A and B are shown apart, each in its own frame.
Chain A
Amino acid sequence: MSYDDVEIEDMEWNNELQAYTYPCPCGDLFQITKEDLKLGEEIARCPSCSLYITVVYNVEDFLDKKSNKPIEPSKQQPITVA
């Protein structure tokens, strides 16, 4: 059973993982790649446990339309260093 339904806008783009992520109760992250989304995949899995979530999104938003990218991955966060 899907742990939760999560809208794509509530997921975070993770540059390192090259995937959209959402917190998993185990402490790790549910993950789904842009390639998965383009294929219409709705399930984001956690690499550390059996749980998965259903990603709510519009597949058209992820099909290649170079001039029109509705969902831009957020930029790397600036880090404040002491």
Chain B
Amino acid sequence: MEEYVGMELRELGTDGQLGTGRLQDELLPQLLHLTSLSSAGPISFLACGGAHVLALTSGGKVLTWGRGTSGQLGHSDTVNSPHPKLVMSLNKYFITHVSAGWNHSGFVSDTGALFTCGDGTFGQLGHGDYRLHVYPVEVSFFASKHVEQIACGMRHSLVLLRGGSGDEVYGFGSGKRGQLGITKDKINLVSLPERSCGFEGVKIASITANGDHSAALSADGHLYTWGRGFGGTLSAQTPQRLPTSFCFTKIALGWNHALVLTGGEVFMFGGNHHGVLSNPDKMTPVKHSADSREVVLEKVPGLEGSRTLHIAAGAEHSAIVTENGVLKTWGWGEHGQLGLGNISDQTSPQEVSLSHKFQKEAGLIEIYCGSGFTIAIRTSCPLLRLVNPTYGC
């Protein structure tokens, strides 16, 4: 069973993405009493977008809540939902992966089918048009292919395929910053999936998108990024492999920064855009080249002594969970998205005080960030009986 903590934001004052049932910012983690989630079964994965949340259960069902004005919740309407609701039209499928963009959503089934809904203004739904769809519609381009993952950014989407001749990455939606990675030429909008360049013969473990950024991690730990540049570097029209000997295991993208995990250590690049994500004095830059196209990796300070297990990035904030189950956040805090009880920005990781009961389950906390909000989940041993979440944070 899980228990949930939303640290968060409000947003439009009123989109309900925290699932608290209240339409306001919360500065401290709030335990969510989500009976609709509890009855749907254990949550295996969350995807947080601009102001909406997709929750995937271990039984392959999807519940969504938050902003729904573009149809991104998939409930066949364009209204917000302050509480998790089952996406009925996906009920006949076993969903294995979900992703939430600014105002759109993607769902992958165990049979390799891809469904998208929400805002389609930039072609980011991949249906060959620029309309919004209020319930998940199968992307027919992939009908005869096996989709593994979807990654939704602000105005674009990436898809990872397991093809007969190896892995393939596709992009669609806005390509103005190069975030589709499909051509060296400048492009604007693409409404049908096109194959991204540069992954021939590369085994891809995961793809990620946020803002106008795109990234992929290869199975052997190489990081590729394309789209808008980080920290003042130029945009990359095609995937660029980070020239480093590090073996990366996870990546999280913000709108102007990225976190990467290697050997339990967290590095960041890009972070000074908003001026609060990094403190140059405290960082240890690992420069690779003077080339302005290449990013500079910086080790995040204040995380020594404990390995990091999970990383997550909102538009302008970051969160990590250590092997000891300690949750730390930093970055932009105006909406309480750092969960520290105030609205201050933080230049280095700060420990979030969760309830004692929540925190003592070491290593079982997972963290997810939307643009301006944060949600933590505690996943207990599935063999334990359901915990009745009756305590407050």
Contacts and interface: CB of A to CB of B under 8 A. Distances in A.
Q: Do A and B come from one complex?
A: yes
Interface of A: 1, 3, 10, 12, 23, 25-28, 48-51, 74, 77-82
B71 A27 contact: no
Give 3 nearest A-B pairs by CB, closest first: A25-B315, A27-B11, A27-B51
B365 to A, nearest CB: 23
A27 B372 contact: yes
Contacts of B130: 77
A26 B71 contact: no
B131 A48 contact: no
Interface stretch (B132-140, B142-150, B240-248): B132-140
A51 B334 CA distance: 10
A49 B134 CA distance: 29
Nearest to B133: A80
Q: What class of interface size applies to chain B in its complex with A?
A: 35 or more
Contacts of A23: 50, 102, 154, 371
Contact of B17 (A27, A51, A82): A27
A78 B127 CA distance: 14
Nearest to A78: B131
Contact of A82 (B50, B135, B335, B373): B135
Nearest to B131: A78
Given A23-B50, A23-B102, A25-B316, A80 B131 contact: yes
Nearest to B371: A27
B255 A80 contact: no
B2 to A, nearest CB: 24
Nearest to B373: A27
Question: Which DSSP category, helix, strand, loop or mixed, fits chain B's interface?
Answer: loop
B15 A27 contact: yes
A25 B314 contact: yes
Contact of B132 (A12, A26, A50, A77): A77
Given A25-B315, A27-B17, A77-B121, A50 B334 contact: yes
A50 to B, nearest CB: 6
Contacts of B372: 25-27, 49
A48 B10 contact: yes
Contact of A79 (B13, B134, B275, B332): B134
Nearest to B88: A82
B161 to A, nearest CB: 26
B378 interface: no
B9 interface: yes
B51 A82 contact: no
A74 B130 CA distance: 12
Contact of A26 (B9, B121, B133, B275): B9
A48 B24 CA distance: 11
Contacts of A48: 10-13
Given A77-B120, A81-B134, 20 more contacts: A25-B274, A25-B314, A25-B332, A26-B334, A26-B372, A27-B51, A27-B373, A28-B11, A48-B11, A48-B12, A48-B13, A49-B334, A49-B335, A49-B372, A51-B334, A77-B130, A80-B132, A80-B133, A80-B137, A81-B76
B359 interface: no
A27 B9 contact: yes
Interface in B251-297: 255, 274-275
Given A27-B9, A27-B51, A79 B78 contact: yes
A26 B202 CA distance: 36
